[in-house]
Amino acid sequence: MPQADVIIVGGGLASLMTAYCLHEHKNVIIFTKTKPEESNSWLAQGGVAAALSEQDHWSYHYEDTLVAGAYHNDELAVEVLVQEGPKRLLQLIEAGLRFDADESGRFHLGKEGAHGQRRILHAGGDQTGKAIVSFLLEKLRGRVTIIENERITDLIVHHGRCVGVRTKKSAYYANAVVLSTGGCGTLYSFSSNAPTVTGDGIALAYRAGAAVTDMEFIQFHPTMLYVNGKAVGLISEAVRGEGAVLITEDGKRLMEHVHPQQDLAPRDVVARAIHGEIVKGHRIYLDISMIPNFAERFPTIAGMCESYGVCIENGKLPVVPGAHFLMGGIVVDLWGETTVPGLYAVGEAACTGVHGANRLASNSLLEGIVFGARVAEALRNEGQTAFAADGAKELNTNPFEKPLPTKEEIQTMMMQHVGIVRDEQSLTTAKEWFEQFSIAELVNADLGSLDEEEMTIVCMLITGWLITTSALERTESRGGHYRLDHPHEVEQWRKRRLERRKDELVAKIGGRR
C-alpha cells in the first residue's frame, strides 16, 4: 500500500516551495499529470514583488495590493504576504537563488501595473518562473519522490477526512494532501496559461466536499501576442514597466485618458480598454520602440515574436487580452487548511484572499513562496492519522456514462459568455449550457472509467460551471468581474471604500492623540 506523510498534487512553484520547506521533516510525494516544466510557474515571465529597496516599505506594497484588488482582499492575508515576502526571498537568495542585479550586486527592481514603487525582482530577464522552479527542483532532487505523468482522479475521504488520492494506477494514502494544481486559464480560448491548467484541483476539491469561493474573479492579462486570430503567448507587463505603451491602429495612445496610471493601470482596466476597441473591429498594438536592446532585456518574448514571424524592429506588437489568473479558488485559512480536514491547498488553486477581486502584478509567485512555506510549517506539526486503508472507501460508485462536449466547445462558451465583460443574459446562457451535461451527477459520479481527455473535460465542466454561477450571483462590477448590466457599481464601491478609509484614518489619528 503506497503511503507518505504528505502528498502534494501539482508541480509548480507553490508545490515545490511547500516540499522544499518540508522535506527534511516529512516523507513527501509530488504528483504531476505531466512534468513540472509544463506549469504556469515555469512560464512566468514577470517577477516577484517585494519591498526590498530603502525607498519602499511593506505598507506601500500592502496598499497597492488592496487598490488593485478592489478592496475585496482579506487584509490580514495581505499583511502576511507583504511582510513575510522579503524574508522568504532573502532566505532563498541566501540558499543560492539568483535574481538580476548590477555589478555591485544591487537588484534590478522593475515596475509593473498598479505598483507605486519599483519592487519587482526578475531572473534571466523574463524567465523568472523558470529560474525559481529550476532552483527548487535542483534542491529537491533525490530528497522527495516526484511521480510524473500520473493524474489524480479522486481524493480519498474517510469519515470526513482526506486520507489520500486515487490515480488510474493505484491508491496512495497520506496524513495530509496538498492541492497545488494552479488555476483554470485554459478554460478560455485566449489564455496565457500552460495547456495543463484546466481547473483540476478545484474540481477535485469540490467533488470531495471542500468549499470554494470568489470563482467569478478571473484576471485577463491585457497583452497576449496576437497572430492569425490566436493568442500565442504572453507579453509580460514588465515591458510596459520599461516604457512600452498601447496604441491604436492610427498610433494614438489607448490609455492616455482612461486611467491616471495610463498603461500601468490595474490589469482589469487595461484589459477592458483593449477589449472595447477589439469588439469595435479595431486592432491594438504594444509600441516597444522606446525600449533599447529589447531582445536582450526580454529574450523569451523576442524569441516568441521571431518564431511567429512578428518583427520587433518595427516596434509594434499586435496584442489581445487572454485569461491569466484566478483570484478565487479553494477556501483556505492562513496556513492553507481547507474546509475538509487533512486537505490543504496552496498557490493559484487556493483562495487565501490576498488578491481580492484583481491580482496585483507579480504577487502570484510571491504568494506561492510565502504560503508554500506556511503550509509546510503547518504540516510539520501534522500528526499521524489513524485509519485503516481498507476502510477508506468513501468513493462515488455511480459511473458517468453521458456524452461530454469537447474542450474547444467549453473554451468558446467561456470566452463568449463568461469573459472580460458579462451580463445576466450571457451568463444565463452559459449556465444552461453547462447544466445540460448534468453537473450534479458529474460531481457525485465514479469517474474511474474515463480516459485522460474525458477527465480533463469533466474538470473543465465543473470549474466552468462554478465560475459561471458565481458570476451570476455577483451583480456588482468589481475587479476582474465586470457586469455590463451593473457598470455603475464600480464607482459606488470605490466611493464607499474611500469613505471608509477616511474614517479609519480619522480614527487612527484620534487614537494617537
For 38, counting Cβ atoms within 10 Å of its Cβ (0-12 exposed, 13-18 middle, 19+ buried), the class is: middle
Average pLDDT over residues 222-236: 95
Among residues of the chain, what percentage have pLDDT more than 70? 92
Is residue 271 predicted with pLDDT exceeding 70? yes
Is residue 142 predicted with pLDDT exceeding 90? yes
C-alpha distances (whole Å) from 302 to each of 240, 293, 305 are 15, 10, 5
Q: Can you give the pLDDT at residue 149?
A: 95
Question: How many angstroms separate the CA atoms of 385 and 387, rounded?
Answer: 6
For 161, counting Cβ atoms within 10 Å of its Cβ (0-12 exposed, 13-18 middle, 19+ buried), the class is: middle
Q: Can you give the pLDDT at residue 112?
A: 86
Q: Can you give the pLDDT at residue 397?
A: 63
Is residue 453 predicted with pLDDT exceeding 60? yes
Average pLDDT over residues 276-302: 95
In terms of pTM, does the model score above 0.85? Answer: yes
Average pLDDT over residues 377-399: 66
Is residue 114 predicted with pLDDT exceeding 50? yes
Is residue 387 predicted with pLDDT exceeding 60? no
pLDDT per position as a tens digit, 39-87: 989 988 889 999 999 999 999 999 999 999 999 999 999 999 999 999 9
Residue 267: which pLDDT band, with cuts at 50, 70 and 90? confident
Is residue 228 predicted with pLDDT exceeding 80? yes
Average pLDDT over residues 429-439: 97
Please report where in the chains the cell 519602499 appears, as a residue.
56
* Domain boundaries 398-513, corresponding CATH code: 1.20.58.100
Q: Can you give the pLDDT at residue 338?
A: 98
pLDDT per position as a tens digit, 412-424: 999 999 999 999 9
Question: How many angstroms separate the CA atoms of 173 and 432, rounded?
Answer: 38
Is residue 262 predicted with pLDDT exceeding 90? yes
Q: What 3-state class would DSSP assign to 339?
A: coil
Question: How many angstroms separate the CA atoms of 432 and 443, rounded?
Answer: 17
Q: Which three cell numbers stand for residue 163?
A: 486520507
* Domain boundaries 3-217+327-387, corresponding CATH code: 3.50.50.60
Residue 274: which pLDDT band, with cuts at 50, 70 and 90? very high
CATH architecture of 226-324: Alpha-Beta Complex (3.90)
Question: How many angstroms separate the CA atoms of 231 and 1, rounded?
Answer: 45
Mean pLDDT of the chain: 92
Is residue 393 predicted with pLDDT exceeding 50? no
Instruction: Work out whether strand 316-326 and strand 343-345 pair parallel, antiparallel, or are unpaired.
Output: unpaired
Kindly list the domain boundaries of the chain, sorted by start residue. Answer: 3-217+327-387, 226-324, 398-513
Is residue 23 predicted with pLDDT exceeding 80? yes
pLDDT per position as a tens digit, 171-194: 999 999 999 999 999 999 999 999
Q: Per the residue annotation, which of 88, 267, 359, 474 is the catalytic one? A: 267
Q: Which three cell numbers stand for residue 53?
A: 529597496
Question: CA triplet 5, 8, 9: central angle to 5 degrees?
Answer: 145
Q: Can you give the pLDDT at residue 391?
A: 46
Question: How many angstroms separate the CA atoms of 102 and 97, rounded?
Answer: 16
Listed residue (168, 179, 207, 153) closest to 442, CA to CA = 207
Residue 247, CB-side half-sphere exposure with 13 Å CA sphere:
14
Is residue 74 within 8 Å of 358, Cβ to Cβ? Answer: no
Q: Can you give the pLDDT at residue 513?
A: 36
Q: Of 127-136, 218-227, 327-336, 399-408, where does mean pLDDT reach its minimum?
A: 399-408
Residue 266: which pLDDT band, with cuts at 50, 70 and 90? confident
Average pLDDT over residues 328-347: 98
Cα of first residue to Cα of last residue in the chain, in angstroms, is 65
Q: What 3-state class would DSSP assign to 294?
A: helix
Instruction: Work out whether strand 218-227 and strand 316-326 pair parallel, antiparallel, or are unpaired.
Output: antiparallel
Q: What 3-state class would DSSP assign to 233?
A: strand
Determine whether 267 is an active site residue. Answer: yes
Question: How many angstroms separate the CA atoms of 298 and 302, rounded?
Answer: 6
Q: Can you give the pLDDT at residue 469?
A: 98
98: left (phi over 0), alpha (psi -120 to 50) or beta: beta
Is residue 103 predicted with pLDDT exceeding 70? yes
Instruction: Work out whether strand 350-351 and strand 329-331 pair parallel, antiparallel, or are unpaired.
Output: parallel
Residue 494: which pLDDT band, with cuts at 50, 70 and 90? low
